[in-house]
Amino acid sequence: MLAHARVLGVIPARLASSRFPEKALATATGKPMVVHVLEAALRAKSLDAVVVAADHSRIIDAVRAHGGEAIRTREDHPNGTSRLAEVAAQSGAEILVNIQGDEPEIEPDAIDAVTTLLLSTPWADVATLASPFGPNDDPHDPNLVKVVLAQDGRALYFSRAPIPCWRDASSDLGANPAAKAPAPMLRHVGLYAYRAAFLQEFTRWPSSPLETTESLEQLRVLEHGRAIVVAVRATSTQGIDTPDQYEAFVRRYAARRGC
């Protein structure tokens, strides 16, 4: 199947996790978390195929037991992008979409937005997603990455700091003045589509100064003068990093099913 997929969704998954060991296989809902991600990705209309790229046979066995496709990748990858590049070298796909393995509530429409944007933007090497800040989002939270865009939709910069800084914000704008700025603040969502040829090139580059400073891999792309185009749409997609976050997901899942 992979050899015939022009647009391939890839879900990198590894067994180890410092804050939530073996979270890919957490099964409080009755199925592994990575399978929830796979099922959501398979509902995206823009993907020709979806595969889980795992570093351990237990993940592969769990995915296949639920009818999904999974392949074994090396254990020494430093991040999901590197694992994606290994799949790119094997698959022959033109576009690879990196779908985080810890986002069981990923929206298929968000995947489609990023994928179709890259397919329709020949000057971009990468496409990603941004969402307007919600009323409960703290612009000063360094875990919420911000992005600013040019008028053609390309990313100018990503930062953990609040950007853009609205110098003339007044005190009467309420609790979230950033949402009312002339250039409203955008929250970056870590969903990426890559051209396969660029992905191989990107993973050969060493870490760059801005990337190291902000601990944001996507800055390596910008520092090399390459283009990232950004789809903007409201989304509540969030990754699961801790057992508490997983328990909250389990409660939401049970509520949707009427349990």
Q: Which CATH number is 96's domain given?
A: 3.90.550.10
Last residue of a domain, one of 85, 104, 123: 104
Q: Which of 51-60, 148-157, 165-174 has the lowest mean pLDDT?
A: 165-174
Cα–Cα distance, 160 to 147 (Å, whole number): 9
Joined together, the tokens standing for residue 77 give: 């990858």
| Amino acid identity at 156 | L
Judged against a pLDDT cut of 70, whether residue 174 lies above it is answered with no
Residues 180 and 87 in one domain: no
pLDDT of residue 219: 98
Residues 126 and 223 in one domain: yes
The answer to whether residue 243 is domain-embedded is no
pLDDT of residue 80: 81
| Amino acid identity at 86 | E
pLDDT of residue 138: 87
Residues 93 and 203 in one domain: no
The residue among 57, 53, 64, 103 whose CA lies nearest residue 237 is 103
The answer to whether residue 247 is domain-embedded is no
- Please give the average per-residue pLDDT across 227-251, as a whole number: 92
pLDDT of residue 250: 95
What length does the chain have? Answer: 259
The answer to whether residue 255 is domain-embedded is no
Cα–Cα distance, 1 to 21 (Å, whole number): 31
Q: Calculate the average pLDDT of the chain.
A: 90
pLDDT of residue 173: 46
Residues 151 and 111 in one domain: yes
> Between residues 3 and 22, which one has the greater pLDDT?
22
Residues 111 and 230 in one domain: yes
Cα–Cα distance, 71 to 40 (Å, whole number): 18
Residues 95 and 118 in one domain: no
Structural domain count of the chain: 2
Residue ranges making up the domain that contains 43: 1-104
How far lies 57's CA from each of 29, 62, 140, in Å?
21, 8, 40
CA-CA-CA-CA torsion for 28, 29, 34, 36, nearest 10 degrees? -170
Residues 118 and 222 in one domain: yes
For 16-39, the pLDDT digits (tens) are 877 888 999 999 999 999 999 999
Fill in the DSSP letter of residue 15.
Answer: S
Residues 117 and 200 in one domain: yes
Q: Which of 42-51, 132-141, 192-201 has the lowest mean pLDDT?
A: 132-141
Residues 142 and 25 in one domain: no
% of the chain with per-residue pLDDT over 70 = 93
How far lies 92's CA from each of 11, 86, 173, in Å?
17, 11, 51
Residues 212 and 150 in one domain: yes
The answer to whether residue 245 is domain-embedded is no
pLDDT of residue 236: 79
pLDDT of residue 176: 58
Residues 86 and 140 in one domain: no
- Please give the average per-residue pLDDT across 198-225, as a whole number: 96
The answer to whether residue 41 is domain-embedded is yes
Judged against a pLDDT cut of 50, whether residue 181 lies above it is answered with yes
Residues 33 and 61 in one domain: yes
The answer to whether residue 14 is domain-embedded is yes
Last residue of a domain, one of 104, 123, 148: 104
Joined together, the tokens standing for residue 132 give: 């307007």
Last residue of a domain, one of 75, 104, 133: 104
Judged against a pLDDT cut of 80, whether residue 180 lies above it is answered with no
pLDDT of residue 239: 85
Question: At which residue do the structure tokens 């760059």 appear?
Answer: 208
Q: Are 85 and 201 in contact (CB under 8 A)?
A: no
> Between residues 117 and 133, which one has the greater pLDDT?
117
% of the chain with per-residue pLDDT over 90 = 69
Banded pLDDT at 169 (limits 50, 70, 90): low
> Between residues 14 and 129, which one has the greater pLDDT?
129
